[in-house]
Amino acid sequence: MYKIMFIDDDPLIVRRLHQIMNWTSMGFEIPEDASDGNEALDKISQNPPDIIICDINMPNMDGLTLAEKIKSSFPHIEFIILTVNDSFGCAQQALNTGVDHYLLKPIDPEELGLIIKKILKGLESSQQERQYLDTLKDKALLSEHMIREKFLNWLVSGRQPLSEEQIRERFAFYQIPVSGQEFQVLSVHINSFTDEMTGASSVEDLIEKAKNTIEDSLYDYQNWVVFSDSFYNLIVIFGFQDDRSFNNPSIELIGQMIRNNLLFHLNLPVTVFYSRKYQGARNLYCCYYDTKFLYQYTPSVINKGVLSFDEYIRSSLDSSFNFDTLRSDALKHLRSGGFNGLLELISSTLMRALAIGSIESFNMLRIDFVMTGVMFLQENRIAMQDVFQKHFSPLAEILEYNDAESCISFLKDYFRRILEYIDANKISPQNKITEKCMELITENISYQHMSVKWLASQLYINENYLSRLFKSETGLSLNRYITKQRMQSAKNYLDQGCTNLQQVSSAVGFSDPFYFSKCFKKEYGVAPSKYLQKADK
């Protein structure tokens, strides 16, 4: 429960505050009231509330002075100042003391309710963040550095569906210096943990030394972060603002540099594996899973030293398997609730891989089936801990098994529990496809190559089916919706004062400003330059 405290020298106002809303049913506990600032200070220091409703004019100490004093010791406490003065000066004074909310007397219950609702939303978000940090502290991960590593592991595992905005907020909160339109993951696999080779006293010590060497290697680069995962691999996330930029580093060359430096400085032999690029930070888990395909590698791979996902697939996956087709078929079964069909697909695929003697194909396929489940959960905005136990890791679990029977049994239970959750919570995966498609368009509005084909590839769905489904649910063709969203986004930029039409056109996915102007005029009946002139008037 949250605590809300009332401070006013007028007992009638205090009584009104107690009665104006059903605080208990809203989840509030009401500690003892105070009639002036000095009394409030004593009570708050002993039992700090979450929200304070306080009169601006009180004897001994006014409300704003009290707020300033309280904020210095308890910055999380939210203040609502009561006043009879609806002036800009009063509002400005409140803002200067850290008070975001003030309410006019007589108190309007509806207006108070809106303020409380807004504050509660912020408190709940803060509480979730605090709960997450408390969990980390319970595991003795007290340092900022270790908390950040825990978050990064949590993010790349795909355990929680987050929007691009939520990821940006968390990157800012954890001071992770990575941003961009596209992302790529580089994974450093240590070939040998022999202590004598490095002088390390433990595996953890070795990992820390290797991480420091990687950070030193990347000193002259920007837009990256390095951390270690639960498999004792060193993971580097790279962000790219624009795929066409000449400033984008070559991941292959970076991988070679890291490999050479680890061997030179630590006498540590490693194999470096890097993922494909994916649009949006929400797909970082896809980048990470790409690198896990190299979990079991052969001497021939070690000899290569630095290897891309695409190169590894070409050289190691039997040509009779097609990942995109298999993933598309698996998602089709999941979206329609076809458990038996999915189980048959899994069984026949894994058994065929072993029958032709392709151990590497078997390893990649079982990992890909796990990733498909994560993708399906993300698509339906389902957190993994809602379906499984809190610290369940499907990737770690599947890699514990090396025979087809055990892997099939695990995957059967894995997907059964996912589909049971979908059914129990009456979630319609088919409806989520259109919603996910809209999110992809919004989050990638600046991507010039966005098309129906690209969207279908991101969703692992048939292009024609996606077009029909989208139009049946929205009444608009997908291409028309993309254009409307681009134009709406452009209009927003212009309304916000952006006057450089070339920058605006690029920001909404157009490489040709003239074609952008033509589309804008078709949408709004006026060229963007004329639209700006009208806005100035």
**Stated length of the chain:** 537
Is the model's pLDDT at 361 over the cut of 90? no
Q: Which pair of structure tokens corresponds to residue 80?
A: 């609502």
* Pick from 91-100, 143-152, 441-450: least confident: 91-100
Average pLDDT of the segment spanning 15-36: 91
Closest CA to 528 of 536, 518, 537: 518
DSSP letter string, 432-474: HHHHHHHHHHHHTTT-TT--HHHHHHHHT--HHHHHHHHHHHH
Q: What is the pLDDT of residue 140?
A: 46
Q: Is the pLDDT score of 141 beyond 50? A: no
pLDDT for residue 16 is more than 50: yes
To the nearest 10 degrees (0 to 180), the angle between helices 323-336 and 429-443 is 130
For the chain, give the percent of residues with pLDDT over 70. 89
pLDDT band at 188 (very low <50, low <70, confident <90, very high): very high
- Which CATH number is associated with domain 430-536? 1.10.10.60
Q: What is the DSSP string of 285-320?
A: HHHHHHHHTTSS--HHHHHH-EEEHHHHHHHHS-TT
Asked if residue 346 has pLDDT above 90, the reply is yes
Written as one string, the DSSP assignment of 121-181 is HHHHHHHHHHHHHHHHHHTT--SHHHHHHHHHHHHHTT-S---HHHHHHHHHHTT-----S
Residue 297 has a pLDDT of: 61
What per-residue confidence (pLDDT) applies to 264?
Answer: 93
Summarize pLDDT for 470-488 with one digit per residue, the tens: 999 899 999 999 999 999 9
Using alpha carbons, list the distances in angstroms from residue 362 to 92, 140, 203, 402.
65, 38, 29, 9
Mean pLDDT to the nearest integer, 72-78: 86
Q: What share of the chain is helix, strand, coil (3-state, %, to 5)?
A: 60, 10, 30
Per-residue pLDDT tens over the stretch 234-269: 999 999 986 555 467 789 999 999 999 999 999 999
The radius of gyration computed from the CA coordinates of the chain, to the nearest angstrom, equals 28
Across the range 507-512, mean pLDDT stands at: 92
Q: Please answer whether residues 61 and 38 qualify as being in contact, where contact means their C-beta atoms are separated by less than 8 angstroms.
A: yes
Q: Tell me, which fold does domain 142-310 have in CATH?
A: Alpha-Beta Plaits (3.30.70)
Instruction: Select, from the ranges 121-125, 305-309, 416-420, 472-476, the one with the highest average predicted confidence (pLDDT).
Output: 416-420
> Which residues contact residue 108 at a Cβ distance below 8 angstroms, ignoring those fewer than 6 apart?
none
Integer Cα distance of 387 and 373 in angstroms: 12
State the average pLDDT over residues 326-347: 94
Q: Which residues, at least 6 apart from 484, have a Cβ–Cβ distance to it below 8 Å? A: 476, 523
Cβ of 270: how many Cβ atoms within 10 Å? 26
| DSSP bridge partners of 193 | none
Question: Taking 80 as the threshold, does the pLDDT of residue 295 lie above it?
Answer: no
Residue 317 pLDDT: 78
Segment 404-429 shows an average pLDDT of 93
Least confident of 9-23, 98-112, 407-421, 516-530: 98-112
For the segment(s) 2-129, the CATH number from 3.40.605.10, 1.10.3720.10, 3.20.20.140, 3.40.50.2300 is 3.40.50.2300
The pLDDT, as a whole number, for residue 1 is 79
Q: What pLDDT digit, counting tens, does each position of 437-449 carry?
A: 998 899 889 888 8
CA distance 157 to 187: 14
Give me the chain's average pLDDT, please: 87
What is the domain partition of the chain in residue ranges? 2-129, 142-310, 317-427, 430-536
176 has pLDDT over 50: yes
Tokens linked to 468: 């029909």
